[in-house]
Chains A and B, each alone.
Chain A
Amino acid sequence: MNTLVGTSRLIRFILRRERVRLSIWLLVLTLVPVQTANAFKALYPSEGSREQLVNTVATNPAFAALLGPIFGSSIGAVTAWRVGVIGSVLVGLMAVLTVIRHTREEEETGRRELLGATVVGRHAPLTAALMVTAGAGLVLGLLLAAGFLGIGLETGGALAFGLGFSAIALAFAMVAGVAAQLTGGAGAARGIAVAAVGAAFVLRMFGDGGGVPWASWLSPIGWFTQLRPFAATGERWWVLSLSLGLAVALGTLGYVLSARRDVGAGALPPRPGPAQAAPSFRSPLGLAWRLQKGSLVGWSLGLAVLGAVYGSVGDSIGDLLTDNPQLAEIFELLGGQQGITDAFFSTAMGILAVIASAYAIRTALRLRVEEEGLLAEPLLVTAVPRLQWARSHLYFALFGSVLMLGLAGLVAGATYGAIAGDTGQMWRVLGAALIQVPAVWVVAGVATALFGLAPRLTALSWGVLVACLVFGQLGEILQFPRWLLNLSPFTHVPNLLAADVNAVPLIWLLVTAALLLSGGMAGFRRRDIG
């Protein structure tokens, strides 16, 4: 097939360009689950102690909603429950970002054209990107299986867990392959594909915690849970065929769409715009608004939807407890129904805060993207001072993240309050969301400081975010030392719903954020552009 000429060379080329990034993804996604299993071994050495854990989990619907159901008391089953869903989301993101980077982004930058003129078939770039991503997923699966076998877990479960992650990578690679054909730009394609990962996450949560069990079956992430790696009742291997089926269907769609369109074009033709700028379009902030509003709206909507889901799930947690008076009695000792719901919302707002931090990083680093794309220069050679330009984007990082966090908290609280018939809850949940703001600003500060002081290392910001996520989700289980956990700003956010808030850590977070931001700005004022 001559449309695939050059695929193998492109695969090698992509692997060369991705060697650091993919290696880090694979390393983190292998080490974290295997280390979690190791930690469970040490923390719950006996079958009895694990049964106790499973009973607590199985009877607590908040856990099911946040992390998924648990299917056994073996080390493997407990590990699959603890890291399965969060790992699935990360695998999905890895797949989506890799495919978009090597398809749509290559077209947008014009590099695709450079390649297209050489002996490269029209479907070769898409095929190469999909194969590299699916291949990375397969390698991840085998590494995970080997890692689990290495610490003595069951063979079947180890393979199921590994291949379950491989299947997610495959399915989302194909999702991204389709998204890459639909839009005119890489940003929109990435947005669609990331939203698909988010939708899969939300559907799974509805299914496992919201009393709509079939919703899990609409989600590739739900399929991982339903594959039941390490389950006491055995794995359900046939579930893997769902991912394969979806991959074949989306793969076919991707190629059909790709064959129909021109290189660089989307499904919609470009439309002409205004010949003159609106009178109000006259400042760096105005330009930043034009460049940022789409992503601000998209992320805000995404977070609001997630907030609504948390809100509605939060109420069903209460329902399940009232349905079972004995259970409610047990939980009365643990702080009562309110205590369980509060714990759920605190955790949920923590997750929203991490997502808002991802927005803050992305938006702050837009400065670097503009600079590298030679789009800072035309502004900086006008009468715009450097810092004014930098601030125009940082406002979005700082206040956009507050806006979306507040919106998500409000929607979560309102949804929960409306269903539970207790509108007072709205303000409590909103407060639990907004108290995360100082920690989000510290993360934004890290990205800004890197931009100003070490512009070549800005990608480290994402490493910082992943570290915060791992520390927050798994830090206790992995028994990281206290000082290490303390490095994450989210460790210091007080739990508004559970206790009286001590403002001191919040002040320290704000001071840290201010120092990082001003350090970054001072560095940017002094350094060379480009």
Chain B
Amino acid sequence: MDSVISVSGLRKSYGHTLALDGLDLQISQGEVHGFLGPNGAGKTTTIRILLGLIRADAGQAMLLGGDPWSDSTELHRRLAYVPGDVTLWPHLTGGEVIDLLGRLRGGLDLDKKQKLLQRFDLDPTKKGRTYSKGNRQKVALIAALSSNVELLILDEPTAGLDPLMEAEFRACINEDRHLGRTVLLASHILAEVEALCDRVSIVRAGKTVESGTLADLRHLTRTTISAELASPPTGIGELAGVHGFQSEDSRVDFEVDSDRLGEVLSHLARLGVRSLISHPPTLEELFMRHYRDADAST
């Protein structure tokens, strides 16, 4: 697969604040890639470097086969961007902004624009300063999604959208995925990333701490198990790979490393299982573990 975004060892500091500390990011063509991290982790800084708005201090960044800084104008014809914090010109209408941004990018799909206006239920005749936050976000989303570009860069695009509109947004991204479009989705909303993304990268303090498919990431971590047993729960807590073991009478709750799951289940079977609930780690658990662990180590 062709690499659409290829970033390695990216560094950027603002005065004494280190924003990026050797960040890596690989995104192939046609992939919807989740870009996760807490506030201030360096997601927006990375995106701004990829957009040629700021220059990295060190490291490599390639975007659509070009250099994001020196080839910015040409590259920008092939991508669309939705910022997390959308501001609009107070006296221009939403419709005018959508048209202007589309034309400046080199053209927009008018059919698609009309459909998106309906899907997102946006009144394009209102002036920029009278839109609410969610509606400003919709203006930026429609402006980006109504273009036929290869790459969408979305920085927390659903902030301020209501659940109905968020569902609409997910539907749009899924349609774009089928068209072979590449999407970089920076987000805090883990359910959204879980629902949409093929692969994710987790960043913390300017570094990539984890990258891969959701299945890969799950494999590295623990499954949660709650069970009702037929006999007293002996020996479970001592098994290799079991964490956070708790029992109350015949009821047990624990987490188990995914690669030890088989051994633990056969032990449970020997004890006799009346009921069993197991669920794979949610992205949220993954995410929290990364930050908690990292916090503990610093």
Q: Which residues of A contact B (CB under 8 A)?
A: 108, 184-185, 270-277, 281-284, 286-287, 290-291, 373-375, 377-385, 526, 528-530
Q: How far apart sit A185 and B91, CA to CA, in the bound complex (Å)? A: 9
Interface residue from B53, B95, B125 paired with A529 (Cβ < 8 Å): B53
Q: How far apart sit A272 and B131, CA to CA, in the bound complex (Å)? A: 11
Nearest-CB distance from B12 to chain A (Å)?
Answer: 9
Query: What are the residues of chain A within 8 A of B95 when measuring CB–CB?
Result: 273-277
Query: What are the residues of chain B within 8 A of A270 when measuring CB–CB?
Result: 126-127, 129-130
Q: With A108-B90, A270-B130 in contact, do A374 and B54 touch (Cβ < 8 Å)?
A: no
Are A276 and B124 in contact, CB atoms less than 8 angstroms apart? yes
Q: How far apart sit A277 and B48, CA to CA, in the bound complex (Å)? A: 28
Nearest-CB distance from A294 to chain B (Å)?
Answer: 8
Are A377 and B83 in contact, CB atoms less than 8 angstroms apart? yes
Q: How many of chain B's residues touch chain A, expressed as a range? A: 35 or more
Are B87 and A374 in contact, CB atoms less than 8 angstroms apart? yes
Are B93 and A282 in contact, CB atoms less than 8 angstroms apart? no
Are A274 and B104 in contact, CB atoms less than 8 angstroms apart? no
Q: How far apart sit A290 and B97, CA to CA, in the bound complex (Å)? A: 12
Which candidate, B73-81, B177-185, B235-243, is the interface stretch facing chain A?
B73-81
Query: What are the residues of chain B within 8 A of A287 when measuring CB–CB?
Result: 89, 100
Are A290 and B126 in contact, CB atoms less than 8 angstroms apart? no
Nearest-CB distance from A174 to chain B (Å)?
Answer: 26
Top 6 A-B pairs, shortest CB-CB distance: A277-B99, A528-B54, A382-B104, A272-B125, A273-B93, A275-B95
Q: With A374-B85, A379-B104 in contact, do A290 and B53 touch (Cβ < 8 Å)?
A: no
Q: With A281-B100, A383-B106 in contact, do A108 and B89 touch (Cβ < 8 Å)?
A: no
Are A373 and B105 in contact, CB atoms less than 8 angstroms apart? no
Query: What are the residues of chain B within 8 A of A283 when measuring CB–CB?
Result: 104
Q: Enumerate 11 A-B pairs (CB-CB under 8 Å) in ascending A order.
A: A185-B129, A272-B127, A274-B95, A281-B96, A284-B104, A374-B85, A377-B53, A379-B101, A381-B51, A381-B79, A383-B77
Q: With A275-B93, A374-B87, A528-B54 in contact, do A108 and B129 touch (Cβ < 8 Å)?
A: yes
Q: Is B55 an interface residue (CB 8 A)?
A: yes
Are A382 and B105 in contact, CB atoms less than 8 angstroms apart? yes
Q: Is B274 an interface residue (CB 8 A)?
A: no
Q: How far apart sit A282 and B102, CA to CA, in the bound complex (Å)? A: 9
Most buried by B among A270, A273, A529: A273
Are A382 and B83 in contact, CB atoms less than 8 angstroms apart? no
Q: Is B140 an interface residue (CB 8 A)?
A: yes
Nearest-CB distance from B89 to chain A (Å)?
Answer: 6
Query: What are the residues of chain A within 8 A of B191 when measuring CB–CB?
Result: none
Q: With A270-B130, A374-B83, A385-B73 in contact, do A530 and B53 touch (Cβ < 8 Å)?
A: yes
